[in-house]
Amino acid sequence: MLELKFNPNELRDYVKSIPKIKDQLFDLVRMDVREVATDFINGLMEAEFELFIGREKHERQSLISLTERNYRNGHYQRSFMAKGLGRLAIKVPRDRRGHYKTDVLEKYQRTETALKEDVAILYLMGTSTRSLALISKRLLGDKISHAQVSECASALCESVEKWRTRPIEDEIKYIYLDGTNFKMRIDGSIELVTVLVAIGVTKTGHKKVLALQAGDKESATSWRELFKDLKSRGLDKNYVQLGIMDGLHGLEKVFTEEFSKAKVQRCQVHVSRNVLCKVPKKLKQEVADDIRSIFYAKSRVKADVFTKEFRHKWEKEIPSAVKCLESSINSTLRYLDFPEEEWVALRTTNPIERLNKEFKRRTKSMEIVAGESSCYNLLAVISLRMEVYWQRHPITFQKALPWFKSREEFTQEN
């Protein structure tokens, strides 16, 4: 831990001088911090080298044979770019035999990993190499070269691909499925490309992004390829209990074929919207309230009673809406077969909708993504950040659905 000590008189004089140097104050602070950081890293390497060489800096090796002795051989300077600090001049100890290899910095590493990730993300989001050089000069006091930018982007691409194709070691009991569209530049033309997204829920209730894969979300073939990829990476098809989705064409059928022991939960929000599209404007609020009373019933028995009441009430006036609801009622109430404390999380595709919304928000300024790989890189970084949040909010700890004494008291936004 770093500790700063001030003499009272020195501190008083320093405070008095602040009005004269206030424009340079933080420059001086940054210089001091950079110097302290440099000294700290150099000190670590010096201690590491002393352990390696087997003696203190000026200690004689009288007990070691001449052929086995190793000696210090000065230092060589190595520059290192650190996030928030800029370029540090590191002194790396050297031995005569050339055997010393430091673990403080990786071999050939010239830039801190966190800074590499930031540079790569800025580059992938459309910031030019020239702009990055100007930004780094202003923020770090040194320019980042085109070669460094390329190195950062390549390193991120490699890491993302390993993450996308990583083995699935957790037991996944629920899977959220959806797709989101992006404008991509492919072979010189602008194409609208869909990225299929799968979020898995572990047995401890934690959510993880399992797949990001380009495909057609209306195509059964694309979804089948995604499911086969998940299983080839270790997903246990027999442990999966439920798939939560929004009724995309062919998806439910393919899901039940690939995961024969799992059930399907259709998103209640999407079903509600589909039904209300067939309802006259003057009736929408009343019909919406009746639909909510079904979806928020305390039990399947209650839900079935409300469904029958809905049919008797509306089948003459809006038969198409009644038919639309009844055709998907079983799959919209499937969550009732699972633990009550998980009902909130299972009744809709909200988790994946929130992730897709975050994807759109982070890529909005780009308008056009520079290819499939760049898209995967951006989405992977966003996904990992979301997983950090999800770690603190497992679905098993959410409150149960709100209950109401009567349907008249029920109000809940979709």
Report which residue type is found at 318: I
| In the chain, domain spans | 28-53+71-106, 111-164, 165-397
- Closest to 177 in 3D by CA, of 204, 201, 202, 193: 201
What is the model's pTM?
0.69
Q: pLDDT tens digits for 18-73?
A: 566 555 555 555 556 667 777 777 788 788 887 777 754 445 555 555 556 677 77
Q: Which pLDDT value is given to residue 63? A: 52
Q: Which pLDDT value is given to residue 407? A: 43
Dihedrals phi, psi of 196, to nearest 5 degrees = -80, 140
- Closest to 235 in 3D by CA, of 208, 266, 214, 215: 208
For the cut 50, the answer to whether the pLDDT of residue 404 exceeds it is: no
Contacts of residues 54-58 at CB distance under 8 Å and 24 or more positions apart, as own/partner, are: none
Q: pLDDT tens digits for 361-403?
A: 877 766 777 777 778 888 888 888 888 888 888 876 555 555 4
Give the Cα separation of 329 and 334 in Å (integer): 9
Q: Which pLDDT value is given to residue 73? A: 77
- What average pLDDT does range 98-102 have in this prediction? 77
Mean pLDDT over each residue of the chain, to the nearest integer: 80
Cβ–Cβ < 8 Å for 186, 372: yes
Q: 263 falls in which pLDDT band (50, 70, 90)? A: very high
Cβ–Cβ < 8 Å for 410, 404: yes
Q: How far is CA 31 from CA 141, 223, 242, 408, in A?
A: 11, 55, 57, 66
Residues 6+ apart with CB under 8 A from 177: 196, 197, 198, 223, 243, 244, 245, 248, 251, 255, 349, 352
- What average pLDDT does range 92-114 have in this prediction? 72
Residue predicted with more confidence, 261 or 360: 261
Give the Cα separation of 370 and 190 in Å (integer): 10
Give the Cα separation of 282 and 70 in Å (integer): 91
The single residue listed with the structure tokens 């797949």 is 211
- Closest to 53 in 3D by CA, of 72, 38, 28: 72
Q: How far is CA 13 from CA 6, 7, 21, 300, in A?
A: 11, 10, 12, 77
| Secondary structure E strands in 275-321 | none
Q: Which pLDDT value is given to residue 410? A: 41
CA angle 273, 275, 281 (to 5 degrees): 85
Q: Which pLDDT value is given to residue 323? A: 95
Residues 6+ apart with CB under 8 A from 50: 56, 57
242-245 vs 172-186, strand pairing mode: parallel
Q: How far is CA 289 from CA 261, 272, 293, 414, in A?
A: 34, 10, 6, 11
For the cut 80, the answer to whether the pLDDT of residue 331 exceeds it is: yes
